Structure 1
Amino acid sequence: MFSRWNRAFPSLSRLGSMKKLDFNNDFYVISRLRYAKAAAAVAPTIADTMEKGIPNEPVLLAKQCTTTRQINLDKMFWSKPSSLALAPDSPLRIEEPKREGIKGFILTMLLFYSKQSKSIRGANVVYKRILSQVDKPIIYSAFNLEKTFKTTFSLLVLHTWLCLRRLKEEGKEGVELGQYLYEIYNHDVELRVSKAGVNLLLTKWMKDLEKIFYGNIVAYDAAILPEAAKDELQNVIWRNIFSDEGSSKPNDAASRAVQAMSRYVRREVSCLSLTDKEAMFSGNFMFTSLKSEVKPAGHR
């Protein structure tokens, strides 16, 4: 398994940018293991999944750790959490077509307004919000990360987990919408792997990535619990996102980035909990803007 990752990751890492999917038009999804059953599944440990799935590749940008224009990580993500819902007049909102006139009648006959159709559309918009946060260069520069397949995949898992966790707070409805979200995420990852040139043994690859996904979300769920150790979330973030193969502890520069991301994750968890059900189910929310958080070194 490890040798297969080593052979494939050079081609994956050469991806300069990853093409986004048009999820408004592409509703085809591939389901392997229902997210609703994840809590009952025996997930692999982070150590096991990382040993199998992470190649030897640097993730910290040394220049960013030493330059005088370094981002002031210690000043980030201390503000009070607030709802992430978009304002009613926000141009970023995506509204449902009104059920009126001939068009509304036809859409109704085509089950456009059925619960399942609305859930699928909502899940597509939610995933667009995830892509909007993960595919922007600023998230990599803010946390001193190099954009590789590994880091992008790890950030996709993290932000998908944030949304799935919030949706589960809404009970059965939220879990059902979370299943659609997971399937869309899964299809996106499969396309990313395929477009990176990994066509042979693709099914095996996807099963391995699925194990990593479940190992990650189980670890995040445990680390965010009130009874978890104070530094548990930092340790999980380090292992899942920042760690090089074989590096057990972060150096000083990496430690500051890990601490900043830990604050970011805790703040997003709180912000999402303050975000109302309608905004979550329709996807009319945005993750915290990193532009507003990034401050150059020396800023007071």
Structure 2
Amino acid sequence: MFWSKPCSLALPRDSPMRVEEPDYQGIKRFFSQTLCCFYSKQSRSIRGANVVYQRIISQVDKPPIYEAFNLEKTFKTTYSLLILHMWLCLRRLKQEGNEGVEFGQYLYEIYNHDVELRVSKAGVNLLLAKWMKDLEKIFYGNIVAYDTALLPEAKPVDFSNVIWRNIFSDDGSSTPDAAASKSVHAMARYARREVSCMTLTDKEALYSGNFMFTSLKKGIRSGAESE
């Protein structure tokens, strides 16, 4: 798996997984528009960003991704995978110029609120602000590392090395053994393919959240072990 040709991640029009904007009519539409600004660009963007974030956590919080890449589900691995998928979305949004960057800011704010809740749920009540600041540094450090590893002048192995340091390695400095190396390279193929798939995903699907990351439920372990 992950060797197949990239394709759009947009959901078909008849997919039950699609989320459609409510089409209020008459007086209900009038009040929604005039009193609540329901159909304003900002309101639409916020709703769309919420759906996009639900797509991200659906991929990150469920067992298949941990089973596929032989990862233990810990706060560290979940947070690292969350950053990876945020990066996939933010990278694609940047291709839409200032409008995409603005949408990405709404997405980041939703992500940041979710991370704060996750940290609190993990039992961190004291020094929460310090934790959030440290996690913010990790977020931006990972984003820069992923972008740098995909620059034209980067070596083919650079992206796999970043995946290892950011997601698999406990200390960021050790090297993977043979078993771990297979999982690392499989995830690097997955992430590279998702980058291409996101580029092929149209603007409407992107802004409405009507896309799904590649399914990890079928044939994934054999794909991870076939390298």
2:198 pairs with 1:269: no
Higher helix proportion: 2
Q: Pick from 204, 224, 236: which aligns with 2:162?
A: 236
Match of 1:19 in 2: none
- Using the TM superposition, give the Cα deviation of residue 101 of structure 1 relative to its aligned residue in structure 2, in angstroms: 1.9
1:226-245 CA-to-partner distances (Å, cap 9, x unmatched) read 22111000000000000022
1:100–1:91 Cα change, 3 Å: same
Q: Distance in 2 between matches of 1:259 and 1:144?
A: 12
Q: Check if 1:144 corresponds to 2:70.
A: yes
- In the other structure, the counterpart of 2:205 is 279
- Work out the CA distance in 2 between the residues paired with 1:88 and 1:177: 23
Partner Cα separation in structure 2 for residue 265 and residue 285 of structure 1: 16
Q: Secondary structure at the match of 2:156?
A: coil
SS of the aligned residue for 1:152 comes to: helix
- Out of 32, 36, 40, the position equivalent to 1:114 is 40
Q: For residues 216 and 246 of structure 1, do their structure 2 counterparts lie closer, same or farther at Cα, with a shift above 3 Å needed? A: closer
* Cα distance between partner residues in 2 of 1:103 and 1:224: 48
Shift of 1:296: 4.2
CA contact (8 A) 1:140 1:146 kept: yes
Between the aligned partners of 2:51 and 2:172, the Cα distance in structure 1 is 38
Q: Give the superposed CA RMSD.
A: 1.4
Match of 1:175 in 2: 101
Q: Which runs of 5+ in 2 are unaligned?
A: none
2:5 matches 1:84: no
Judge conservation of contact 1:99–1:108 (CA < 8 Å) in 2. no
Letter in 1 for 2:177: N
For the Cα contact (< 8 Å) 2:68–2:221, is it kept in 1? no
Structure 2 partner of 1:190: 116
Counterpart residue number, 1:253 = 179
Q: Which has the higher mean CA deviation after the structures are superposed, 177-186 or 239-248? A: 239-248
Alignment coverage as a number of residue pairs: 224
Corresponding letter in the other structure for 1:281 = Y
1:15-94 correspondence runs (5 A): 76-94=1-19
Please state how far the C-alpha of 1:212 moved relative to its aligned partner.
Answer: 0.4
For the 8 Å contact 2:9–2:197, the answer to whether it is kept is yes
Deviation (angstroms), 1:87:
0.3
Q: Give the TM-score normalised by the residue count of structure 1.
A: 0.72
2:89 match: 163
SS at match of 1:113: coil
Matched, 1:123 2:49: yes
Report deviation, 1:134: 0.3
Counterpart code for 1:77: F
Give the C-alpha shift of residue 99 in structure 1: 4.2
Greater than 6 Å deviation, 4+ residue runs? none
SS of 1:77's equivalent? coil
- Of the three residues 7, 19, 25, the one matched with 1:100 is 25
**d(CA) in 1 for partners of 2:150 and 2:105?**
21
1:199 pairs with 2:125: yes
- State the secondary structure of the residue aligned to 1:290: coil
% of aligned pairs identical? Answer: 75
CA distance in 2, matches of 1:127, 1:162: 12
